[in-house]
Homo-oligomer: A and B are copies of this chain.
């Protein structure tokens, strides 16, 4: 299976690493929108300019489109889907249907296959929400994220005057998590589920009190949460806050029985040292499945919800029956 990486940020680097862990995958190259001479790959992967990608039209089975969900992927995935089978990590939940329809239209016209919104949420968490609700049609779902960095919230803090750099950790609240995992099915407000921890480096002479107030009252991002603001030095920031760990879980509690007298709780949880590398590893597995679907003649846009699990791996089906079942 021949893979290309379009866009070489954290996810792109993760895909580069993941390709080496899968022997059936050949990584054709990285396509960058920057000056290609400035891009240093992790391994000996070839680097091309994004403008050269069309020369690889028939040399790549799946192009992994690594861009931002806010402004890049909505057009980038659609454009590339005219010439390639593509997969992306579009994660703006509210706009998934719209993005799906756009990509579906183009891929059906161009006779390609695509997958959008691959990763862990959306992606593996979506799958687990679906499985649990299929098994327990009467029940209640919960999703918790963290402890981990929210890119969007960190960016929002960095836009405040006087802030040099910042990281925001989304932190699930222990008491709420315990109730959910225990199957108590609590009603939880936004504030009761997660809190927000901010680590902020400010310019010399900046008004910390004003910055802290501005963070804590920022609409949508922070105002509905209990937010902790920690001002730290650049040294401390570089030492303790450059990693990209994340975590989270989805849980469903539902009922069965004659009088719904029996309760069941299903939980899928992740603990990740590197959010982008795990996301990229999910993408690479689903890219494999996408190739198999394409070989069957499938075109159009898919999601993780469409994929036969057996297509995600290279093992022979008899091996799966012997060792996975």
Q: Would you call A324 and B268 a contact (CB within 8 A)?
A: no
Interface size (A, Cβ < 8 Å)?
68
Given contacts A42-B258, A321-B97, A325-B117, A130 and B313 within 8 Å (CB-CB): yes
Task: Select one of B97, B100, B271 contacting A264, CB under 8 A.
Answer: B271
Q: Knowing that A262-B278, A266-B270, A269-B269 touch, tell me 20 more A-B residue pairs with CB under 8 angstroms.
A: A21-B138, A124-B131, A126-B324, A126-B325, A127-B309, A129-B324, A130-B320, A134-B313, A135-B281, A257-B273, A262-B272, A263-B273, A264-B277, A266-B268, A266-B269, A267-B271, A305-B310, A305-B317, A305-B324, A307-B309
A303 touching B277, Cβ below 8 Å: no
Contact B17 A256 (CB under 8 A): yes
Contact B258–A134 (Cβ < 8 Å): no
A308 to chain B, nearest CB (A): 6
CB-CB contacts below 8 Å: A81-128 with B: 93, 96-97, 100, 117, 122, 124, 126-128
CA distance in complex: A269, B306 (Å): 23
CB distance A17 to B257 under 8 Å?
A: yes
Q: Which of A21, A126, A183, A309 has the most CB of B within 10 A?
A: A309
Contact with B along A158-193 (1 / 0, CB 8 A): 000000000000000000000000010000000000
Set B128, B269, B274, B320: member contacting A262, Cβ < 8 A: B274
